[in-house]
Amino acid sequence: MSGMDINALLLTVKLAALTSIILIGISVPLAWWLAHWRSPAKSIVLAILALPLVLPPTVLGFYLLISFAPDTWLGQSWLALSGRQLAFSFEGILLGSVIYSLPFAVQPLHNAFEQLNPRFVEVAKTLGLNRTQQFMQVILPITRGSFFTAAGLSFAHTLGEFGVVLMIGGNIPGETQVVSIALFDHVEAMAYEQAHALALVMLLFSLCLLTVLYRFNSSRISLWK
């Protein structure tokens, strides 16, 4: 495996890890709010959040690329703050990954919060716990499995990104060239041995990640039975 391939692997893991961390921070309050929001518009909001599940990645990537252009308010704001353009940068593919993987983090948390028995929170209130204590001491232990699911699915989904990253970031080694793009380059160049090595590493890594995730969730279900 070449040094460029190793750099692509490291960049992919970095992208997936940062995306998962950011998504947990965003998804927890968003999922909690959605679980307790009662409005006819809720189905529309849930549908918008779930769009990345059904939209072709290139469609989402195309509109994000337009939004990140230097002549848009978002592109201009980022350029003024950082001195770098948002499109064709690591920050750009990170923001795109957060949007693309958002439903994989929100949905497990939303389902867990919706199924949470409100009596647990009511009892916590009678014991004098404030909201932070209620969340940390009551809600989090009960719904902890959904947090691991949300983080694990977000991480795994980001590992396999191709269309969104290619549209937003192009193919810049060390900056935006993730494993899926490096693999595509090897196949285009008919370097099948290098392509096989990259594909096998990602296959084994993804399989191990999902196995650990399913094993953890099975253990949690057994404990609560």
Q: What is the pLDDT of residues 36-65, one digit of tens each?
A: 898 889 999 999 999 998 988 999 999 999
Query: Which CATH number belongs to the domain containing residue 111 in this structure?
Result: 1.10.3720.10
Asked if the model's pLDDT at residue 155 lies above 70, the reply is: yes
Residues whose CB falls within 8 Å of the CB of residue 206, separated by 6 or more in sequence, listed in order: 156, 159, 160
Domain residues for the domain of 94 are 3-224
As a whole number of angstroms, the distance between CA 214 and CA 152 comes to 10
Going 69 to 74 to 79 to 84, the CA torsion angle's sign is negative
| Domain count along the chain | 1
**pLDDT band (50, 70, 90) for residue 221:** very low
Residue 26, Cα to own-chain centre: how many angstroms? 10
Which pLDDT score, from 0 to 100, does residue 218 have?
64
CA-wise closest residue to 180 among 21, 168, 164, 140? 164
Asked if the model's pLDDT at residue 3 lies above 90, the reply is: no
How much is the average pLDDT of 21-45? Answer: 93
**Least reliable range by pLDDT among 57-71, 190-204, 208-222:** 208-222
Express each pLDDT in 125-149 by its tens digit: 888 888 888 888 888 888 888 898 8
Asked if the model's pLDDT at residue 224 lies above 90, the reply is: no
